[in-house]
């Protein structure tokens, strides 16, 4: 190899991460156990930044844990974070479960993360989103004993959601997702690749908060703002401090709940069936849409219309074929 070709050689890729960094603070009196996650998606860094500030405050003595346990995971998917993208080998916030034979990088992370989730009572998972808009928080189902996501801590979870800050709360993700999977299976059949097998498995909808609920805990996903919005770090920081105050882990004052709240229930998800399926507008999450309005057009020319008055949520004009194109939500009565 000549010197010239050496100089032109690309820099060798960074080695894949081999550990997960966690920090735990034990109050010297017993109390609730809180887990805070940042960068479950590698390009959503507001939580990681807010956690770094918090570690500084705790280590300098500016903030003190007086009871219970606080565990911080600044970067929960270190491979995706290193790559500066949402996922590493796959989406860490799906199919969350320990695996005896890990295949993807995220399977190995889950084998460390699931026992950590098991060891805590409450979870605050800090995310950000692609298109602009106001922060919102996602909660699980109402209390129920059904087979999909039985739950008994809806009141605690709503209280946590309200104190994280945003006035907009979104619920009903997993059952809507599971119904979407049924529709997807009805169209495509269960055969296919590993990727296809994953996206047609109802367990694929289980992320950090769903896993937490399945183990007797509760938790919320806070979407702090647009990925690059510098205000998102402040939103994340406020949420962590208020969660510490709510659970009594520290002696900070608790801010009152927002006086106005808007609770939206996800009721339907629509897959993109073909690369020629297009939206009628550049939808943003929580755009209102009246019954009968055209949301998009299938490549066949078939119009996709709003079934009732409602809201577009998580629209993805570039969704892969066979994956979620948009969710539809209604105001909870």
Footprint on this chain of Zn ion (rule: CB under 5 A): 41, 44, 127
CB of 157 to Zn ion, least distance (A): 19
Query: How do the residues of the chain divide into helix, strand and coil, expressed in percent and rounded to 5?
Result: 30, 25, 45
Nearest residue to 141 via CA among 176, 168, 110, 166: 176
CB of 104 to Zn ion, least distance (A): 17
Nearest residue to 38 via CA among 143, 125, 120: 125
CB of 301 to Zn ion, least distance (A): 34
CB of 209 to Zn ion, least distance (A): 12
Tell me the residue number closest to Zn ion, measured at CB. 127
Nearer to Zn ion, 31 or 133 (CB): 133
The angle at the Cα of 148, spanning 320 to 333, to the nearest 5 degrees, equals 85
CB of 58 to Zn ion, least distance (A): 25
Strands 310-313 vs 324-331: parallel, antiparallel or unpaired: antiparallel
Nearest residue to 36 via CA among 26, 51, 56: 51
Nearest residue to 109 via CA among 69, 72, 75: 75
Nearer to Zn ion, 127 or 238 (CB): 127
Nearer to Zn ion, 37 or 312 (CB): 37
Nearer to Zn ion, 44 or 210 (CB): 44
Distance CA 51, CA 72 (A): 7
CB of 223 to Zn ion, least distance (A): 7
Map residue 53 onto helix, strand or coil. Answer: helix
Residue 262 pairs in a beta bridge with 168
Nearer to Zn ion, 308 or 323 (CB): 323
Nearer to Zn ion, 87 or 242 (CB): 87
């Amino acid at each position: 190899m000549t010197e010239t070709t050496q100089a032109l050689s690309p820099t060798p890729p960074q080695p894949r991460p081999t550990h997960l960094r966690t920090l735990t603070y034990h109050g010297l009196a017993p109390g609730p156990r809180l887990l805070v996650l940042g960068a479950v998606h590698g390009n959503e860094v507001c939580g990681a930044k807010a956690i770094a500030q918090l570690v500084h405050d705790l280590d300098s003595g500016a903030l003190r844990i007086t009871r219970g346990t606080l565990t911080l995971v600044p970067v929960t998917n270190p491979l995706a974070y290193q790559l500066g993208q949402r996922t590493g080998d796959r989406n860490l916030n799906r199919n969350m479960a320990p695996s005896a034979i890990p295949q993807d990088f995220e399977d190995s992370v889950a084998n460390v993360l699931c026992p950590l989730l098991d060891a805590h009572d409450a979870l605050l998972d800090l995310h950000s989103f692609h298109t602009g808009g106001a922060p919102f928080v996602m909660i699980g189902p109402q209390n129920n004993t059904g087979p999909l996501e039985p739950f008994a801590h809806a009141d605690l979870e709503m209280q946590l959601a309200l104190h994280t800050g945003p006035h907009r709360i979104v619920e009903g993700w997993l059952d809507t997702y599971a119904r979407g999977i049924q529709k997807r299976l009805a169209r495509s059949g269960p055969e296919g690749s590993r990727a296809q097998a994953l996206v047609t498995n109802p367990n694929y909808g289980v992320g950090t908060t769903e896993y937490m609920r399945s183990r007797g805990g509760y938790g919320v996903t806070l979407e702090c703002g647009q990925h690059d919005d510098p205000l998102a770090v402040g939103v994340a920081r406020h949420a962590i401090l208020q969660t510490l105050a709510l659970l009594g882990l520290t002696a900070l004052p608790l801010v009152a709940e927002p006086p106005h709240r808007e609770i939206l229930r996800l009721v339907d998800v629509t897959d993109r069936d073909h690369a020629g399926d297009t939206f009628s507008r550049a939808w943003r999450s929580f755009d209102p849409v009246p019954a009968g309005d055209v949301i998009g057009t299938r490549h066949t020319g078939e119009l996709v219309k709003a079934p009732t008055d409602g809201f577009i949520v998580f629209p993805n004009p570039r969704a892969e074929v066979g994956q979620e194109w948009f969710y539809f939500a209604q105001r909870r009565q």
